[in-house]
Amino acid sequence: MVIRVAAVGDIHMGPDSQGLLRPAFETLPDCADLLLLAGDLTRHGTPEEARVVAREVRGLPVPVVAVLGNHDHHDERPETVTSILREAGVRVLEGEGTVVECAGGKVGIAGTKGFGGGFVGRSAGEFGEPVMKEFVRTTRRSADSLHAALKGLDEEGCAARVALTHFSPVADTLAGEPPEIHPFLGSYLLAEAIDTAGADLAVHGHAHMGAEHGMTAGGVRVRNVAQPVIRRAFNVYRLGAA
Amino acid sequence: MSDPVGHQGPAASGPASAGGSPEAPENAEYRVAHLQERLAAEELGELGVRAEFRAGAVAVTGTVPSARCRETVLRLAREELAGLTVHTDVVVAETDRPDHAEELW
């Protein structure tokens, strides 16, 4: 049995982009069982921009599952962005999981925005000034919630599990970005959560100049689906279900 | 695509400082930084456009979500980098559906 996962991130919608993605999204039932949105759905996280996204995906014939990105937090109203998207039928995840019933079996998606800190040997530590400790703790809390959500999906008997984040769990998919900014693009804590809880695929965005393909140390495939990277309305990954 | 948005050489904005970069005229590095601040802070909220010195000119590169965003990036580059030679390679994100899936098993 096969589960077909469509995904895109970093669509950065504003009033001038209404309708740009809808024609491609309407073809989703031909090639995918669900659509994942990997954050940065808006430019500034305003309700107006969130309503553009909501109209773009409302009523699609496949389930839509999303996490928010840093842009969606800029206006400091992520709860409002979330509620506007949920009202349009989008399952918005932050530290939680959801199950989608597909023809190929149950697929579980665990989602969190994630945060930065960097990668093994070149990462920020939970030490020193309060703001520095809080920076790393924010990532750790996000990673812990991702781990718990993936574990929960395992107990629900999902045929496949996907980790959905905005920030990257690995440096592989940041290739093309200046190495100096890698600590602002992701954290190994997310990959550790994925590897220790188990997943069949990890999907993220955020790194516009990165690369699509990567893998965690534990062998989980990672895909950076930022729209500037995949250069399409979405990409489709076919998972062989157990 | 390359759109020169200014044709004056570095000398047009004053001689390079003795201790400055051989590529960048005086204070040009800060003007590039200010451009990136404006791209992020003003109507675009744009963090995905890169601006850096290449061969005595400023290269502005990246992918933006709409044609209007691209026009705004080019306008801000013209305003902030007036007098410098600027080459832009800013493209609009593609919105076609994929023609194949990736098999992962």
Read off the pLDDT of residues A50-103 as tens digits, 9 standing for 90 and up: 999 999 999 999 999 999 999 999 999 999 999 999 999 999 999 999 999 999
Distance (Å) of CA A183 to CA A117, A119, A121 = 5, 7, 11
B25 or A169, which is more confident: A169
What is the domain-level CATH number for residue A65? 3.60.21.10
Give how many domains chain A has, as a whole number: 1
Residue A106's pLDDT is what?
A: 95
Sheet-wide strand order for A96-102 = A96-102, A105-112, A160-165, A201-204, A221-224, A213-215
User: To 10 degrees, the CA torsion angle through A39, A42, A44, A50?
Assistant: -110
Residue pLDDT, tens place only, A17-27 = 999 999 999 99
Q: Specify burial of residue A91 (Cβ count, 10 A radius: 0-12, 13-18, 19+).
A: buried
Query: In angstroms, what separates the C-alpha of A216 from chain B's closest C-alpha?
Result: 15
Can you give the pTM of this predicted structure? 0.92
Contact A21 B62 (CB under 8 A): no
For residue A220, the chain B residue with the least C-alpha distance is B104
**Domain, as residue range, for A19:** 2-240
Query: In angstroms, what separates the C-alpha of B73 from chain A's closest C-alpha?
Result: 14
Average pLDDT score over chain A: 97
Mean pLDDT of A178-190: 97
CATH classification code of B23-92 = 3.30.1340.30
Contact B48 A208 (CB under 8 A): yes
Backbone angles phi, psi at B98, to 5 degrees: -70, 155
Report ipTM for this prediction.
0.92
For residues A228 and A97, give the distance between their C-alpha atoms in angstroms, rounded to a whole number: 27
For residues A110 and A187, give the distance between their C-alpha atoms in angstroms, rounded to a whole number: 17
Residue pLDDT, tens place only, A97-136 = 999 999 989 999 999 999 999 999 999 999 999 999 999 9
